[in-house]
Amino acid sequence: MLEWIEWLREKDYLGKLTPIVEDNLEKKIGIKCPWDKGNPPAYLNELLNELNERTPYDCSLQPWKDYSESKTRIRINRKKSDEAILVQQIQLLALKQGKTVPTERIQEWISRLLE
């Protein structure tokens, strides 16, 4: 699954969505769903949970209507860095106190703290 996601080119995506997974599952991804035919999304969800735990990706399933069939695409996002999360948390704390703090200022503070 990871190889397929990283192999895709920008033009293959629909926004942040992969091509339809079921159309590529065996041929391009190389996976055969071992579960009942009606359960590929459940199986894909299990695979994505593992992928999210082990990679810099944060992927989720996106149900997709393809003519009269229900299929699936994968929404691809990159995980935020620890620094980005920290900056966001500091900005939220400041907002609760009625203040705003520019991202650049927080990043400078973090850099100085870690020197």
Give the mean model confidence (pLDDT) for residues 1-22.
Answer: 94
What are the residue boundaries of the structural domains of the chain, listed by start? 2-75, 82-114
Compute the average pLDDT of residues 12-41. 88
Report residue 46 CA to chain centroid gap: 14
Would you state the pLDDT for residue 39? 79
Residue 88: name the closest of 75, 78, 101 by CA. 101
End-to-end CA, the chain? 39
- 74-93: pLDDT as tens digits: 999 989 888 988 999 999 99
Quick check: 44 and 61 in contact, CB under 8 A? yes
Tokens of 94: 């400041």
Prediction pTM value: 0.70
